Structure 1
Amino acid sequence: MINQHSENLLNTELEKISDAGYKFSWFDWFCLWYPPGWLILFNRHWQHYHQDPDGWNWLEYGLFLFPFGFYLALLSRWLRLGCRSPRREIGEFNPKYQEAFSQEILAAIVKYYFRGELQQIENLPQTRAMIVAMNHAGMCFPWDFITLGYLLGEARGWTVQPLASPVLFEHPWMIWWLPPKWSQVLGGVRAELSDFEAAVAQDKTILYAPEGLRGPLKGWSQRYQLQKFDISFMQLSDRYHIPILPVLCIGSESLHPWTVNLKKLQRLFKLPFLPVSPLMIALILFPSMGVWAMKTRLRYFIQPLENDINSVKDRTALYQQAQQLREKLQTQINQLLNTIKTIRQ
């Protein structure tokens, strides 16, 4: 149930400072190009629009920038809060804050760092109610999802809501790294069937990974190899007569290259994945780099709408239909990779 008081509070705060949007300072530009500083950017932007006495302070931000300093900052904040976790007060999706975050933070990251671009934009429909199905990879913060959401918003003015692992909402580590309920406020939909179905029923634009966590879990050795597709998106597409828009991302596998997943430690810490790569030493020194990724070029190839999803009641037949779509998209990915390779030669 939507907390109306929290939503009204957030709207009021945004309106009060609508004429004083967040502007990049020299420190913010420094944080953009200094990997441990990305977490500072996210939190500083949140604090600009919200009263957040439990958030990080300037002393703790300064500690982020030094080796092992994040651990001291975490201890400082924990002691400052009286040895308790941050409060969780606001937690509902707010399109106004999503737009502010997109224009004031994501724009710089997408344009100058990931160089995100849409290809075959003529395949973008005018309708907003759809499931945007994309190959998901990178074994890191979901930058391929976030970048596509930003680009679709710029191209069509859509409000895109990504389906996200429940870990991004409730893992005890997340409430220390990112502002409380940050994922929900920015529009994340919990990757649970009931939440997914509710969002689709409301005619929203949902960004979805048919591979689920199998996409990023596969690691560098299987890059650009689509994993088994779930069937829930096809079931909901048929039930609510909402089309599926396939999008193929090239470049996402390079967000964290040469990475493998440590499954036993991943399960121990109850994380969606635990990537290990040559960057691991840097991540130990600077844990705040957990939201950072390698500089790359993210290109999104928009495919024609899938409107001919057959109404299939039998689960086995529906599974086969989903895998046929996976094979079709795998062929297209292979063709794109060959084309890009030829152009580079």
Structure 2
Amino acid sequence: MINQHSENLLNTQQEKAPAQGYKFSWFDWFCLWYPPGWLILFNRHWQHYHQDPDGWNWFEYGLFLIPGGFYLAMLSRWLRLGCRSPRQEVGEFDPNYQQAFGQEVLGPIVKYYFRGELQQIENLPSRGPLIVAMNHAGMCFPWDFLTLAYLLSETRGWRVQPIASPALFDHPWMIWWLPPKWSQLLGGVRAEFNDFEAAIAQDKILLYAPEGIRGPGKGWSKRHQLQKFDVSFMQLSDRYHIPILPVVCIGSEFLHPWSVNVTKLQRLVKLPFLPLSPLMFALVLFPSMGIWAMKTRLRYFIQPLESAELASGSNKGRTAAYQQAQKLREKLQIQINQLLGKS
């Protein structure tokens, strides 16, 4: 009954969606260059295509922009909703909305703020399925992932779906920050083995971080040092005969520089990581900056395709997968060191 209601609601929203695409206004450009406004961009774009009476309104957007105003905005929204949390409707991947979000919101951010660019595109295959394996860093909102997904979509027309931490789907903070089931609609796949395998089995193009949460959670002191790779992507690549496309990202370490992970507090609040840095003082005053990141140049170096051909047998297969994953990690670490001019 709930699923049927949600499906009807989604269909109604799509029927009433405006015919014209979302156009960046002067206010949107202001939000792009004023860090507390990034959350406004995401929600304004969502509300352009979806009726969302539980979403933020203009009065609350204005409060985002002043020190401490986000707390008043949350109180205003909570009271407006009758002292409850926003509704969380069932959401499925919507390629049309992913494309609209990429062209109308991600595009300006990637081009003018992160200055994202692909290098060595001759290594890009013409089509999928693929597991795009990238070093992941920054200890912040996954801008290195979103930027690469956008660039691959623009270059090849692919519908790239990132593997994302479960916290980005259903953490209480995300429910208040972002639109309902926003991550799912944009193609996010939960970073859980069953979800990962189901997506692989459907011949999708998946963006994956072999380091897992160890990558962005390693902190500034270990920047440019790849952490241990998981083996699941090697095993699934072998099982479903899907090649791996390694990508080296340079610049992601500067998305949230000088940070350390407060492990005990992070586990208490059930977040993937909880960075502590000089920027956190600004975040206390402007919580809407939670999806913002420092301006940097994100460069992606496409590596030749890899294929996992593992030994038969569960124990041998896992051992071979581990060895091959770490061998790939060493290869990518050499690439990173060379790109940075290190010995």
TM-score bracket, shorter-length normalisation = over 0.9
TM-score by length of 2: 0.95
Contact 2:17 2:50 in 1 (8 A): no
Where 1:216 maps in the other structure, the secondary structure is coil
TM-score by length of 1: 0.95
Q: Shift of the alpha carbon at 1:14?
A: 4.2
The aligned residue for residue 323 of structure 2 is 320
CA distance in 1, matches of 2:5, 2:153: 27
Q: Shift of the alpha carbon at 1:317?
A: 3.0
Q: Shift of the alpha carbon at 1:13?
A: 3.7
The CA RMSD over aligned residues, in Å, is: 1.7
The aligned residue for residue 274 of structure 1 is 274
The aligned residue for residue 42 of structure 1 is 42
Contact 1:248 1:301 in 2 (8 A): yes
Q: Shift of the alpha carbon at 1:319?
A: 1.2
The aligned residue for residue 121 of structure 2 is 121
The aligned residue for residue 189 of structure 1 is 189
Listed one character per residue, the Cα deviations across residues 239-269 of structure 1 (whole Å, up to 9, x for unaligned) are 0000000000000000001110000110110
CA distance in 1, matches of 2:249, 2:90: 33
User: What residue identity is the alignment partner of 1:278?
Assistant: P
Contact 2:260 2:276 in 1 (8 A): yes
Where 1:84 maps in the other structure, the secondary structure is coil
Contact 1:11 1:96 in 2 (8 A): no
Q: Shift of the alpha carbon at 1:318?
A: 2.1
Where 2:22 maps in the other structure, the secondary structure is coil
Please point out which of 295, 320, 341 is paired with 1:338.
Answer: 341
CA distance in 2, matches of 1:7, 1:161: 22
**More deviation, 315-324/329-338:** 315-324
Contact 2:69 2:286 in 1 (8 A): yes
The aligned residue for residue 67 of structure 1 is 67
Relative to 1, partners in 2 of residues 1:301 and 1:11: Cα closer, same or farther, differing over 3 Å? farther
Contact 1:6 1:92 in 2 (8 A): no
CA distance in 2, matches of 1:309, 1:117: 31
CA distance in 2, matches of 1:191, 1:129: 18
The aligned residue for residue 147 of structure 1 is 147
Unaligned runs of 5+ in 1: none
Unaligned runs of 5+ in 2: none
Where 2:216 maps in the other structure, the secondary structure is helix
Q: How does 1:106-255 map to 2 (within 5 A)?
A: 106-255=106-255
Q: Shift of the alpha carbon at 1:322?
A: 1.1
Relative to 1, partners in 2 of residues 1:312 and 1:303: Cα closer, same or farther, differing over 3 Å? farther
The aligned residue for residue 81 of structure 1 is 81
Relative to 1, partners in 2 of residues 1:186 and 1:209: Cα closer, same or farther, differing over 3 Å? same
Of all paired residues, the percent bearing the same amino acid is: 80
User: What residue identity is the alignment partner of 1:257?
Assistant: P
Listed one character per residue, the Cα deviations across residues 270-302 of structure 1 (whole Å, up to 9, x for unaligned) are 000001111111011000000000000000000
**More deviation, 320-329/153-162:** 320-329
Q: Shift of the alpha carbon at 1:7?
A: 5.6
Q: Shift of the alpha carbon at 1:128?
A: 1.6
User: What residue identity is the alignment partner of 2:281?
Assistant: I
CA distance in 1, matches of 2:68, 2:21: 33
Where 2:283 maps in the other structure, the secondary structure is helix
Listed one character per residue, the Cα deviations across residues 70-93 of structure 1 (whole Å, up to 9, x for unaligned) are 000001111111111100124111
User: What residue identity is the alignment partner of 1:49?
Assistant: Y
Listed one character per residue, the Cα deviations across residues 2-58 of structure 1 (whole Å, up to 9, x for unaligned) are 957756754664465453111111111111100000000000111111110000011
Relative to 1, partners in 2 of residues 1:337 and 1:203: Cα closer, same or farther, differing over 3 Å? same
CA distance in 1, matches of 2:33, 2:61: 15
Relative to 1, partners in 2 of residues 1:139 and 1:205: Cα closer, same or farther, differing over 3 Å? same
Contact 1:7 1:92 in 2 (8 A): no
CA distance in 2, matches of 1:312, 1:249: 33
Contact 1:14 1:96 in 2 (8 A): no
Contact 2:133 2:244 in 1 (8 A): yes
Where 2:113 maps in the other structure, the secondary structure is helix
Matched residues, number: 339
The aligned residue for residue 329 of structure 1 is 332
Relative to 1, partners in 2 of residues 1:317 and 1:29: Cα closer, same or farther, differing over 3 Å? same
The aligned residue for residue 101 of structure 1 is 101
CA distance in 2, matches of 1:169, 1:19: 28
CA distance in 1, matches of 2:241, 2:321: 16
CA distance in 1, matches of 2:250, 2:286: 28
CA distance in 2, matches of 1:179, 1:203: 28
Q: Shift of the alpha carbon at 1:316?
A: 2.6
